[in-house]
Amino acid sequence: MAGKLTFLTTLEAIIDERISSQSSDSYVSRLLSSGLDRVLKKVGEEAGEVIIAAKNNDQTELLNESADLLFHLMLVLKKMGYSLEDVIEVLAARHNG
């Protein structure tokens, strides 16, 4: 499990690279350049799809939509100048509370 969690760090590095490249071929670059409202809209759409998949007890759809939600949440964090590490610090502080 821990090895798979490190993929989030890899994904975050990929996102950083795509942001830096500002390539029109990159979904990340295009979405982030379209503005915060557009990125937030994607988070809302994906959250709704997670809810429906869970309600319908569709495991495959739930996992796919959860991946989409997490990815788009990572984009919001990047757009706002934060990282997953910042979120993990909050969770750890709550746990140690």
Residues of the chain with pLDDT under 70: 1-2
pLDDT score recorded for residue 24: 87
pLDDT score recorded for residue 96: 87
Question: C-alpha distances in angstroms, 30 versus 38, 67, 90?
Answer: 10, 19, 30
For residue 48, what are the contacts with CB-CB under 8 A and spacing of at least 6? none
- What is the distance between the alpha carbons of residues 46 and 64, in angstroms, rounded to a whole number? 10
pLDDT score recorded for residue 69: 98
pLDDT score recorded for residue 1: 60
pLDDT score recorded for residue 2: 61
